[in-house]
């Protein structure tokens, strides 16, 4: 699964890394939640970062609400909500970290996961236009997920499809077996995961403090951190 994102790399660095110019000024985000706009690079306009809403709304939906936050890689070609987008409308979802929650004896503990080098990366995504009920033209996206690697598995049973730089062009413009070949888990030894504050649970919170490492509540209560 992928329920929250962060992206606070410098705009100039992102433009150089993805060879794309943002359609509007980027601002640092530490807690991007579904229902919010977020920069992606679409296959029909790879020279630009656009800002669709996170949560894919099929073009045939009556209302622009209750979108699909994630899409399982294993069923992209089958699910009515995703199969057309998988074939025609793919995108790179830009991030420098994502969050998920681990079940513990004291409740769900949020973890932030990044590349080991801290560099921004792209996740496989799908985008979809919507123009229903006189609500104006809108666009949404979803993050594609796959089986977890050994690092993420300790936190959650799914993870986003994090693309290696050499796979990004394939995801945007490939087809058939080429697309399937990039939908595997990112190498665990090239990632890191660490616990963060439960303040990230509230999408209204969006500060740099959210990406700082904390000691999980279950370790504080048992004193396990005294033996670290």
pLDDT at 227: 37
- B/e letters for 131-168, b = 16+ CB within 10 Å, e = fewer, are ebeeeeeebbbbbbbbebbebbeebbebbbbbbeeebb
pLDDT higher than threshold 90 for residue 208 = yes
What is the model's pTM?
A: 0.93
Q: Which CATH number fits domain 4-227: 3.20.20.80, 3.30.460.80, 3.30.1540.10, 3.90.1680.10?
A: 3.90.1680.10
pLDDT at 223: 47
Q: Where are the domains of the chain?
A: 4-227
What the block records as the tokens of 159 is 């993870």
Q: What is the pLDDT of residues 1-36, one digit of tens each?
A: 688 999 999 999 999 999 999 999 999 999 999 999
pLDDT higher than threshold 80 for residue 196 = yes
pLDDT at 132: 74
What the block records as the tokens of 128 is 């979809």
pLDDT at 228: 38
Q: What angle do CA 52, 13, 38 make, to 5 degrees?
A: 15
Q: What is the pLDDT of residues 85-139, one digit of tens each?
A: 999 999 999 999 999 999 999 899 999 999 999 999 999 999 999 987 655 689 9
Q: What is the pLDDT of residues 60-100, one digit of tens each?
A: 998 999 899 999 999 999 999 999 999 999 999 999 999 99
pLDDT higher than threshold 50 for residue 154 = yes
Q: pLDDT band for 217, please (50, 70, 90 cuts).
A: confident
pLDDT higher than threshold 90 for residue 201 = yes
Bigger pLDDT: 144 vs 216:
144
pLDDT at 203: 96
How many whole angstroms separate alpha carbon 217 and alpha carbon 197? Answer: 10
């Amino acid at each position: 699964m992928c329920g929250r994102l962060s992206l606070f790399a410098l705009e100039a660095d992102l433009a150089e890394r993805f060879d794309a110019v943002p359609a509007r000024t980027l601002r640092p985000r530490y807690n991007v939640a579904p229902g919010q706009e977020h920069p992606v690079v679409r296959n029909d306009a790879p020279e630009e970062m656009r800002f669709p809403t996170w949560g894919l709304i099929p073009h045939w939906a009556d209302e622009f609400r209750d979108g699909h936050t994630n899409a399982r890689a294993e069923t992209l070609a089958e699910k009515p909500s995703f199969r057309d987008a998988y074939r025609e409308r793919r995108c790179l979802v830009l991030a420098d970290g994502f969050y998920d929650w681990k079940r513990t004896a004291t409740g769900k503990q949020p973890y932030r996961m990044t590349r080991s080098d801290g560099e921004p990366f792209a996740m496989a995504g799908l985008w979809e236009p919507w123009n229903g009920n006189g609500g104006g033209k809108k666009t949404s996206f979803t993050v594609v997920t796959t089986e977890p690697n050994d690092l993420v598995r300790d936190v959650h049973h799914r993870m986003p499809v994090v693309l290696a730089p050499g796979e990004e062009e394939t995801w945007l413009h490939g087809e058939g077996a080429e697309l399937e070949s990039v939908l595997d888990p990112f190498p665990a030894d090239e990632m890191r995961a660490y616990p963060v504050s439960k303040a990230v649970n509230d999408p209204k919170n969006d500060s740099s403090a959210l990406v700082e490492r904390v000691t999980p509540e279950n370790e504080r209560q048992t004193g396990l951190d005294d033996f670290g």
